[in-house]
Structures are given as C-alpha cells and as structure tokens.
Structure 1
C-alpha cells in the first residue's frame, strides 16, 4: 500500500477534537506564508496529506474554518496581551516599561505565526477581529498611563489633553517592536525589549 494512502487512512481515524487543532495549525501556516486567501479546504487537506472529507468532518466550509482560525488566534492574543498589561506600580520607572515590552516580546517568541497573521493579513475579516484587540489594548494602556502621568506631576488638564496621543505612542511603539523582531532576526529579544522599553519611558517621562 502506498505511504500516502496509509497516512490518509490513519488520519481518518482521528476524532474531530484531535484533528481540529492540526487543521487550524496548518491553516495558520498557509495564511502566514501565502496569505489568508490561500486558505481553502483543499489547500489545508494537501498540507496535512489527507482527503478533503477529513477537513469537512471538522469544518462545514472554508468560511467556518477561517472564522475559527481567527477566533483562536484572537483569543490567544487577548490572553497574552492581557497578562502583559496587568496592573503595575503607578509611579513607573524605566524597568516597568522594559518588563512590559519583554513580556510582550516573549509572546511573539512563543507564537510568531499568530503575530505574523495580525500584521500580514490584509483580509478585512482578519483586520476587524484584531482591530478589536488593539482597541482593548489602547483602553487598558489608557487606564494604566493616566494615573502614572498624574503621579509624575503632569497637571490634570494637560493629562486630559495629551493622554490619547501618549497612549498611541506607547501602543504604536509596541507594534513597531513586534514588527521589527519578526522582520529582523539579528535582534535578541531581551536586548530589543530593553531598548524599546527604555526609549518609550524616556519619551513619556520628558513630556512632564
């Protein structure tokens, strides 16, 4: 019996609960390397060396498959970013920002393809899902930065005026760090996190 036939027969014996994560991992790899438009039932089946009916036992169609992929990666990012943006000391110093950037970058090291999907997929559905995640990050950073600026001595009326722009500086710098790490393998994660965290702290601190 040809090896490919043997692999397909074994694949059919896997239940949907065991098979679904494999299908989603294969779809993620295709989306990152070839674009979300290349994720089809056929392409995922070929990637896993199984027949299309194996994929259909887990997902009704391509739309369901992509929706579940995006939902899984969105949930993964929300959990990791939420952990990064946990409450910290109000009177933050440079190390507080370095620690945050280091924690964020550790999630990129652990799940690089999730982040590549965020920044590499022009599909409007993907952008909508992850746009919500960015909005949540902006809200959380706003909650963290407002009391810090006040503690540093910025007048309340000035905080009200400048807070949005400073939060955008912080969030955009975080996104830039992720893009830099994914694009430039010469960076050591700790070195990049320390550089970016210190730079953002200095930029924010000099506004007071």
Structure 2
C-alpha cells in the first residue's frame, strides 16, 4: 500500500511540471501549430491542444500569443544563425569568395536540418505585429552589419568599399541567403545541395559586384 501511494505521488509530481520545464514543450507545440496553420491560425487554444495542456497551464508559461511567438522566434533564429555565425569567423588566409561560399553553405545546411524553423522565421517577416517585426528587423540589422564588416576586411587592395557600399553588398548577400533558402525547400529544391546552391549564389552575388 505504501509503495502504491509513493508511486502515485511521484506520478502526480511528474505530471505537474513547472513553467520553466513546460516552456520548451510549449514552444515545440507552437512551432508545430505555426508550421501547419500559419501565424493567424496559431492561437493559444491550438497551442494548448498541441502541447496537451490546459489553457490555464499555458498562461502560466506565457501571458499572450505574442509572448509565445516572440520566444519561439528567438529560439528558432538562434538555431539557424549559429551555424552561419561560425562560418563568419575566418583565418588570415581566407578570401572573400571562399568565406561567402562557406557562409552560404553553412546557412543552407542549417535550413535543411531545421526546415520548419526556417519556414516560421521567414513567414514571420510578413505577418507579425509591429512590435515583433521590429525585433526581427533589429536582429537582422546586427547580422547585416557583421557581414558588412567581414566584406570590408576581405576585399582586396584596390577594391576597398565605402561604408555605404559594404552595407548595400551585405544586405544583398543576406537577402540572397533568405530567398534561396526558400528555394532549397521548394519543389525545385531537390536539384540543389547546400554546397552547389552556395557556389551558385556566391557567383551571382560576387560576379555581379566585381
């Protein structure tokens, strides 16, 4: 009898997870709902159903739908960008073309590894409320500035860029990454690998610039 009560107590405690433990599970549920139903179809009720929790339990973790999605975007952007950030760290022997190609390949590989994450992040650009949209734009601006600094450091003598030129080139490089990640996940994407797409996009970007 004592063992039965002990087991019952442990089961009850396991079922009553605190908000800190439940938040990652809620974000997994929100990711699945957004991927299937889009931003507008991602409601607190739908997230709760996907996470198999009650709405009061969900609200213990996040106050609003936007709070859930803000946290979700933070997580998914970080997941995608970590691989690219690693490629932006170069050694003294690196050149611009090699570094750009490696960065694209790392990013495209991350997109293929986490396709749902990318679809959510990309979808967010056009449909989010202004507050979250501004947060995304600020994060992207930081990334573009990092690319601009890298581009300036790797340009050869005689081809030095002004700050304005580096900013435009960096923005275009980032946009090509975003647009072609979507191509990679489309029906036509089976014709490409991260390496072959990265090589082609690098030629498009840098041959046009040079």
Q: TM-score, normalised by structure 2?
A: 0.76
Instruction: Give the one of 67, 85, 98 matched to 1:95.
Output: 98
Residue 56 to residue 181, structure 1, CA distance change in 2 (3 Å): same
Instruction: Give the one of 159, 175, 185 matched to 1:172.
Output: 175
Q: What stretches of structure 2 of length at least 5 have no aligned partner?
A: 1-11
**Contact 1:94–1:202 under 8 Å retained in 2:** no
1:43-75 CA-partner distances (Å, limit 9, x unpaired): 112113332233233223434323322332344
Q: What stretches of structure 1 of length at least 5 have no aligned partner?
A: 1-8
Residue 12 to residue 96, structure 1, CA distance change in 2 (3 Å): same
Instruction: Give the one of 66, 70, 75 matched to 1:72.
Output: 75
Cα-Cα RMSD: 2.8
* Number of residues of Structure 1 aligned to a counterpart in Structure 2: 194
Residue 10 to residue 50, structure 1, CA distance change in 2 (3 Å): farther
1:40 aligns with 2:46: no
**Contact 2:22–2:61 under 8 Å retained in 1:** yes
- Give the Cα–Cα distance (whole angstroms) in 2 for the partners of residues 161 and 59 of structure 1: 41
Instruction: Give the one of 185, 189, 193 matched to 2:189.
Output: 185
Residue 178 to residue 88, structure 1, CA distance change in 2 (3 Å): farther
- Give the Cα–Cα distance (whole angstroms) in 2 for the partners of residues 90 and 126 of structure 1: 40
